[in-house]
Amino acid sequence: VDTNLTRIRIKDIAELAGVSPGTVDRVLHDRGEVSAATRKKILGIINDMDYHPDILASTLANKKEFRIAALIPQEKYNNPFWKYPLKGIEEGLLETSHFGLSVDKYLFDYFDRRSFIDKSGEMFKNKPKGVILAPVFTEDAAIVIEKCSNEGIPVVLINANICNGSCLAFVGQDSLQSGMVAARLMHYGLDRSSDILIVNFIRENGNQEHILKREEGFRKFYSAFPEYHESRLRQLNIIENDISDYPGILKEAVLASPRTGGIFVTNSRVFRVAEFLESSGSLNFRLIGYDLLEENKKYLKSGIIDFLISQKPREQGYKSILSLYHHLILKKSVEKNQYLPIDIITRENLGHYTFT
Amino acid sequence: VDTNLTRIRIKDIAELAGVSPGTVDRVLHDRGEVSAATRKKILGIINDMDYHPDILASTLANKKEFRIAALIPQEKYNNPFWKYPLKGIEEGLLETSHFGLSVDKYLFDYFDRRSFIDKSGEMFKNKPKGVILAPVFTEDAAIVIEKCSNEGIPVVLINANICNGSCLAFVGQDSLQSGMVAARLMHYGLDRSSDILIVNFIRENGNQEHILKREEGFRKFYSAFPEYHESRLRQLNIIENDISDYPGILKEAVLASPRTGGIFVTNSRVFRVAEFLESSGSLNFRLIGYDLLEENKKYLKSGIIDFLISQKPREQGYKSILSLYHHLILKKSVEKNQYLPIDIITRENLGHYTFT
DNA sequence: CTGAAAGCGCTTACAG
DNA sequence: CTGAAAGCGCTTACAG
């Protein structure tokens, strides 16, 4: 057997072990019907020869399908963020679909818990080989994760990490750290006499953990600057599914302290604040928020928003499908916490982020 | 022939055309020995049926090797930047080596033109199927590109774009735009009474175009602010391969205008300026530069450097190998100008860039 | 110019 | 518990 010339094959292992290729295959895939002795011998040789199967040949002979389920919010006029993970998934499929991977989309309504439950039920009926999950409704998502864990279905969480250990991976941002980045940018550009307002747009019974973490990170940064005591770092919570008078609320909050010079919005609703600032002609604020929504980009370009922090939603999709590919097909280990870089976006580098 | 049930195969095309699979294959790969009439008929059917070959089966049967050459600088104590493209290439190989792709490294000395010429000669002897090229020595690199073009070898340029049209792709940063990003960051944090110093570390007969472009972008941004006229945006060129007295030169330049408040270094040598500022106890400067060298990271962490802009060298390597894979194996078209995002790095988001 | 056969490395029934 | 044979979809000599 010429070991050094070419790659070693199942056939070579079989010859060395004095068995047929079929038996080696049985051992390789742990599908039983092999005597303990034979098994041990074959495993020894595989190990000695450092044999690795050719996945191309394997996939070709297998004709197996790997239907992945994407259980994420539907893109909507009021939530355009969610089209990007889907784009990333499509892109990842370009590299992996040859191996039998495909994606079924179960898109639920971001504001409707019931629809999440329905879609997840539908999904389980179709017995997916892997799941990409955005845990928007924390408790219900936890149930899905539990169920997948019981059925041996690997789950990749995106955007928010509620994993207790039974997930294949999490792909998303380190929220606390991203709050610190926001604070750095604020501090770098704000004169020391100005106060800061932190605005949280909050949704009832939705997952707020990342919002809280961002605020926590922001405050953590400022804890190194004692002059920014509690009263100079005020906080405003606005309930979102209220038919709220945003301008009114904001006006009151900003007027409450005329020394407010910087505003940090802990999620993508920063355009609401930008809207208010523009219409009230108050252009002398440092304004920092999240995500490249069209409205946010508009205000970034016009200079009302100073910085946006991107959660790289496209990359979340891309990495999640590739993680499942590595796990299911290549049978390689997958990094558990895949924190994406915390991207800082200005007018000037926005152009090269178009597809992110 | 069941068209809708399963994917269509070469065999199906052959049956429809009333020929053998071999003949279809000859047409698919344009290797002649087929009558014009048969050829036309087969092409028609391929088109009608929207047939796409299975690359797994193709690769498996082919056993062809695709040896890619990486003609880039050797990593060195004085140039650690260049280890990252190599890392990215390795990472890309993980996804593509099943298809027969491999990489031969031709690492030249960044400071020695002769070594570039030698390595490129060596490379051509081994007849690579594709080339990843860092055009450090502009003129000599142009000759390599020309030669590849003549021999039909696709070239992916990384880091600097000197392509006249005969390259498969360029992967790197938009230098002009990155200068504008640097200016935005400077302007955002600098009080309006401070002057700015632009420092170019320049190497004899090396490729300086990206440095000049960065300065140009920086000035372009400031052209919107007339108060920053020429004399408030001074420039300092330091020749690098001189055994220069950097501190002395810098001291003189900074002292020349006591109102200097911001320093922009147009490449990775920003640590030299940071060193000087630290040792001279001048900590009240805004300092912005390029690349995540260890020394630069050190000064970023200690607060002497405010921002670093990353050229994403790892991703340059990754994308270049994937581009060649798409071109050579998948035979898909490849985007010509692959501008990478212009990443802004602070102490706070540095952690998640460790491998970039 | 065209076809039949063997092969790439692995897997899947089937027979024993 | 094990092996021989056929097959995945494409390609490569070889024969005509």
3-state DSSP assignment of residue A153: coil
**Radius of gyration from C-alpha coordinates of chain A:** 26
Q: Checking DSSP bridges between strand B169-172 and strand B155-158, what pairing results, if any?
A: parallel
Helix (H) or strand (E) holding B39: helix B36-49
DSSP state of A111: T
Strand partners for A39: none
3-state DSSP assignment of residue B331: coil
Number of CB atoms found within 10 A of residue B298's CB: 14
Number of CB atoms found within 10 A of residue A52's CB: 11
Q: What are the structure tokens assigned to B352, written together?
A: 């998640």
Query: What pLDDT is attached to residue A16?
Result: 86
Q: State pLDDT tens for residues A201-235.
A: 987 766 788 899 999 999 999 999 989 888 899 99
Q: Checking DSSP bridges between strand A343-345 and strand A307-310, what pairing results, if any?
A: antiparallel
CA distance linking residue B71 with residue B148, whole number of Å: 13
Strand partners for B196: B233, B262
Q: Is the pTM of this model over 0.85?
A: yes
Closest CA to B201 of B156, B240, B148: B240
A61 CB below 7 A from strand D atoms: yes
Query: What pLDDT is attached to residue A242?
Result: 60
Q: State pLDDT tens for residues B289-326.
A: 999 999 999 999 999 999 999 999 999 999 999 999 99
Q: State pLDDT tens for residues B225-282.
A: 989 888 899 999 988 766 667 888 888 888 778 889 999 999 999 999 999 999 988 7
Per-residue CB contacts under 7 A with strand C, chain A residues 257-316:
none
Residue A56 backbone dihedrals phi, psi, to 5 degrees: -65, -55
Burial of A258 (0-12, 13-18, 19+ CB in 10 A): exposed
Mutant choice from B342, B355, B356 vs A, greatest count of A C-beta within 10 A: B342
The position carrying tokens 């802990």 is A266
Mutant choice from B335, B347, B352, B353 vs A, greatest count of A C-beta within 10 A: B352
- Check if the beta carbon of residue A226 is closer than 8 Å to that of residue A219: no
Residue A173 backbone dihedrals phi, psi, to 5 degrees: -100, 150
Closest CA to B253 of B196, B179, B299, B211: B196
Q: State pLDDT tens for residues B51-93.
A: 988 999 999 998 888 999 999 999 887 677 899 999 999 999 9
Residue in chain B lying closest to A352 (CA)? B341
CA A343 / C1′ C16 distance in Å: 64
Residue B348 backbone dihedrals phi, psi, to 5 degrees: -80, -30
Query: What pLDDT is attached to residue A338?
Result: 94
Is the per-residue pLDDT at B142 higher than 80?
A: yes
Beta-carbon-side half-sphere exposure of residue A198 (alpha carbons within 13 Å): 23
DSSP state of A85: H
Query: What pLDDT is attached to residue A73?
Result: 94
Instruction: Note the helical H segments in chain A.
Output: 10-17, 21-28, 36-49, 55-62, 83-96, 113-125, 138-151, 175-189, 209-222, 246-256, 270-279, 294-302, 313-328
- Check if the beta carbon of residue A343 is closer than 8 Å to that of residue A353: yes
Query: What pLDDT is attached to residue A241?
Result: 67
Q: What are the structure tokens assigned to B70, written together?
A: 């990486």
Q: Which residues from chain B sit within 8 angstroms of residue A174, using beta carbons?
A: 352
Residues of chain A below pLDDT 50: 1-4, 356
Nearest-by-Cβ selection for B174 from A59, A99, A352: A352
**Torsion over CA: A137, A140, A142, A146 (sign):** negative
Number of CB atoms found within 10 A of residue A129's CB: 19
Number of CB atoms found within 10 A of residue B87's CB: 17
DSSP state of B76: B
Cα angle A79-A84-A89, degrees, rounded to a multiple of 5: 135
Q: Which residues from chain A sit within 8 angstroms of residue B184, using beta carbons?
A: 346-348
The position carrying tokens 């400031």 is B222
Query: What pLDDT is attached to residue B22?
Result: 83
The distance from CA B285 to its chain's CA centroid, rounded to whole angstroms, is: 31
- Check if the beta carbon of residue A82 is closer than 8 Å to that of residue A313: yes
Cα angle B296-B301-B307, degrees, rounded to a multiple of 5: 60
CA distance linking residue A128 with residue A149, whole number of Å: 13
Q: Looking at CA atoms only, how far is residue A115 from chain B in angstroms?
A: 32
Per-residue CB contacts under 7 A with strand D, chain A residues 24-53:
26, 32-39
Q: State pLDDT tens for residues B7-35.
A: 788 888 888 888 888 888 888 888 777 77
Q: What is the 3-state secondary structure (H, E, C) of A2-19?
A: CCCCCCCCHHHHHHHHCC
CA A187 / C1′ D10 distance in Å: 62
3-state DSSP assignment of residue B90: helix
Query: What pLDDT is attached to residue A4?
Result: 44
Query: What pLDDT is attached to residue A323?
Result: 96
Instruction: Give the residue nearest to nucleotide C8 (CA to C1').
Output: B61
Query: What pLDDT is attached to residue B2?
Result: 37
Q: Do B348 and A59 touch (CB under 8 A)?
A: no
Angle between helices A10-17 and A36-49 (to 10 degrees): 130
Instruction: Give the residue nearest to nucleotide D8 (CA to C1').
Output: A61
- Check if the beta carbon of residue A133 is closer than 8 Å to that of residue A71: yes
CA A61 / C1′ D7 distance in Å: 8
Q: Do B59 and A56 touch (CB under 8 A)?
A: yes
CA B98 / C1′ D12 distance in Å: 21
Mutant choice from A97, A186, A352 vs B, greatest count of B C-beta within 10 A: A352
CA distance linking residue B347 with residue B356, whole number of Å: 15
Query: What pLDDT is attached to residue B354?
Result: 58
The position carrying tokens 């994407």 is A70
Q: Give nucleotides in strand C with any atom < 7 A to a protein C-beta.
A: 1-5, 7-13
Q: Looking at CA atoms only, how far is residue B61 from chain A in angstroms?
A: 10
Nearest-by-Cβ selection for A189 from B98, B189, B341: B189
CA distance linking residue A106 with residue A74, whole number of Å: 8
